[in-house]
Amino acid sequence: MSSTAGSGVEVIAIDTPALGDRSYLAHDGEAALVVDPQRDIDRVLALAAARGVRITHVFETHIHNDYVTGGLALTLATGAAYHVNAADPVAYDRVPVSDGQVIEVSPVMRARVLATPGHTFTHLSYALEAAGHVHAVFTGGSLLYGSTGRPDLLGAAHADELARAQYASAHRMAAGLPADTDVYPTHGFGSFCSATQSAGNASTIGREQRANPVLTLDEERYVRELLAGLDAYPAYYAHMGPANAAGPAGPDLSPPHSADAAELRQRIEAGEWVVDLRARRAFAAGHLAGTLSFDLDGSFVTYLGWLIPWGTSLTLLGQTPEQVAEAQRELVRIGIDRPAAAATGGPAQWAGRQPLRSYPVADFADLKAVRHHRPVIILDVRRQQEWDASHIRGAVHVPLHQLPGRLAEVPAGEVWVHCEAGYRASIAASFLDAAGRTVVAVDDEFDRAARAGLPVDGLLPQSAAN
């Protein structure tokens, strides 16, 4: 996605949908700046080359909590100036910047630094000026489309203070920037760094003033509702800040070691993670015993990073080398750098002479029907707020991110596992199957449960989520 920011300046969004983030490249036809680059910087370099521009400046809005930055690697590759908040305690050389500072990017473009604490204590935004007018503001994890960044990632003890800082920062931008200023956030497109999920692909300061709760509610109500709406976030976030402060190198995306069936079995028996990237229904139909299903066509990296014990040896199984390479690219973005091994093809090749395992896939109408014939356990693996809003009466609730450590709590018997739309249920089903349980994966939208005749308790119906 690209847009013209005025005076010949183009702003191009570089989407990372798996993490719900965007990086940006802005250029005047010759010089370019980059904001919040992801770790796989080859995408940025290719874009700059396609536009025929030279990257001269890289800006970080904050020390990121949801991905490993490519900022340092990009500056080393291009010779660009690396702008990071002077107050951030980083272990690498950078150009320290602070509130009010103006950076002359080119004769056409300049960036003005705005202190916008809230998502972190040292969060910055950057107003892009050309021909004497502010055309855009890069807001990072501060002002998002219809939302703001969440204030609790540095610990619950700071959440109230940071929520109030977030409120003040949003009002500062709204008061100090023209209404037609384009807003370019880094988070909010599915990222757990967003306090609530954002809507839309473009906005302006004026539009946010009319629709964003941080700019339409009074401070007390905004803070109260924001804090009440926060739910769990991925466990791997704990590792991102330290990695980004230390100065991460560029990724190694070379192909992993190729494993045969005997090695795969050894790795599974050693307690390592062997992850099947195929479509979740294909996994259910037949898979190597002990493997785990993380369908690459979904929130693969978020949930794998959330569930895997940090540092666990990981092997990837894909139908093609390209599928493994895609997974590898997603993993380096959260600091899982080198798979121990990989294998391509299909489950018959991976299993060798071992029999394959399988389990049924069903919908909520099937679940309604089966309860007339035999007792089954209904396992809901959605997050706490989803459960509180509505759930099937009599279901057992274990959120997916807690399931690996709580498998023993799932009652004995045949387990029908569901989530909101099927993706998390497929992961949970694979964990149960690997533990030897009899399982059925419900691959269906949760709002169909009541329509199928299942008794649903709770406050409100939920909208679809992964």
Question: Does residue 1 register a pLDDT over 70?
Answer: no
So what's the pLDDT on residue 201? 84
If you ran DSSP here, which 8-state letter would residue 464 be given? P
Same domain, 45 and 75: yes
| Residue 255, in any domain of the structure | no
Q: Measure Cα distances from 319 to 218, 238, 276 in Å.
A: 53, 32, 9
Tell me what percent of the residues of the chain surpass a pLDDT of 90: 92
- Residue 9: which residues within 8 A CB-CB, separation 6 or more? 26, 27, 28, 108, 109, 128, 130, 135
Same domain, 276 and 298: yes
So what's the pLDDT on residue 262? 97
More confident residue, 156 or 198: 156
Same domain, 72 and 36: yes
More confident residue, 461 or 355: 355
Domain limits for position 283: 261-351
Question: Does residue 64 register a pLDDT over 80?
Answer: yes
Q: What are the pLDDT digits (tens) for 15-31?
A: 999 999 999 999 999 99
Domain boundary among 212, 246, 280: 246
Total number of domains constituting the chain: 3
Compute how many other C-beta atoms are within 10 angstroms of the C-beta atom of residue 360: 14
Same domain, 105 and 191: yes
Band (462; pLDDT cuts 50, 70, 90)? very low
So what's the pLDDT on residue 463? 42
Domain boundary among 204, 220, 246: 246
Same domain, 342 and 366: no
Question: Does residue 466 register a pLDDT over 60?
Answer: no
Q: Cβ-count burial of 157 within 10 angstroms (0-12 exposed, 13-18 middle, 19+ buried)?
A: exposed
Question: Does residue 136 register a pLDDT over 90?
Answer: yes
Same domain, 209 and 69: yes
If you ran DSSP here, which 8-state letter would residue 77 be given? H
Residue 73 tokens, joined: 């690697």
So what's the pLDDT on residue 355? 94
| Residue 369, in any domain of the structure | yes
Same domain, 187 and 79: yes
- β-bridge pairing 415-418 and 377-380: parallel
So what's the pLDDT on residue 196? 73
DSSP string over 218-285:
-HHHHHHHHHHT-----TTHHHHHHHHHH-PPPP--SPPPB--HHHHHHHHHTT-EEEE-S-HHHHHH
The answer to whether the CB of 186 falls within 8 A of the CB of 140 is: yes
So what's the pLDDT on residue 459? 66
| Residue 465, in any domain of the structure | no
Same domain, 205 and 336: no
Residue 203 tokens, joined: 């906005």
- β-bridge pairing 124-130 and 396-397: unpaired
Question: Does residue 191 register a pLDDT over 90?
Answer: no
Domain boundary among 190, 216, 246: 246
So what's the pLDDT on residue 3? 63
pTM for this structure?
0.93
Dist CA 361 CA 416 (whole Å): 9
| Residue 275, in any domain of the structure | yes
Dihedrals φ, ψ of 312, to 5°? -65, 135
Same domain, 336 and 393: no
Average pLDDT over residues 168-194: 94
Collapsing DSSP to helix, strand or coil, 56 comes out as: strand
Dist CA 163 CA 158 (whole Å): 8
Same domain, 199 and 332: no
Dist CA 166 CA 130 (whole Å): 27
CA atoms within 13 A on the CB side of 74: 34
| Residue 401, in any domain of the structure | yes
Query: What is the radius of gyration, based on Cα positions, of the chain?
Result: 24
| Residue 413, in any domain of the structure | yes
Question: Does residue 275 register a pLDDT over 60?
Answer: yes
CATH number at residue 387: 3.40.250.10
Q: Reading across the β-sheet that carries 377-380, which strands appear in turn? A: 361-362, 439-442, 415-418, 377-380, 396-397
So what's the pLDDT on residue 195? 76
- Please state, rounded to an integer, the average pLDDT across all residues of the chain: 95
| Residue 251, in any domain of the structure | no
Average pLDDT over residues 33-61: 98
CATH number at residue 77: 3.60.15.10
Average pLDDT over residues 83-104: 97
Same domain, 44 and 152: yes
- β-bridge pairing 377-380 and 396-397: parallel
Q: What are the pLDDT digits (tens) for 307-320?
A: 999 999 999 999 99
So what's the pLDDT on residue 464? 40
Residue 379 tokens, joined: 């396992």
Same domain, 34 and 181: yes
Question: Does residue 190 register a pLDDT over 70?
Answer: yes
Question: Does residue 458 register a pLDDT over 90?
Answer: no
The strand pairing partners of 275, in sequence order, are 292, 316
Can you tell me which residue has the tokens 């939208």? 445
Give, for 112, the enclosing helix (H) or strand (E): strand 109-115
Nearest to 195 by CA among 303, 122, 118, 85: 118
Can you tell me which residue has the tokens 């009466």? 393
Lowest mean pLDDT among 145-159, 188-202, 276-290: 188-202
Dihedrals φ, ψ of 244, to 5°? -75, -30
The strand pairing partners of 217, in sequence order, are none
If you ran DSSP here, which 8-state letter would residue 88 be given? S
Tell me what percent of the residues of the chain surpass a pLDDT of 70: 96
| Residue 463, in any domain of the structure | no
Dist CA 186 CA 144 (whole Å): 8
Band (465; pLDDT cuts 50, 70, 90)? very low
If you ran DSSP here, which 8-state letter would residue 407 be given? G
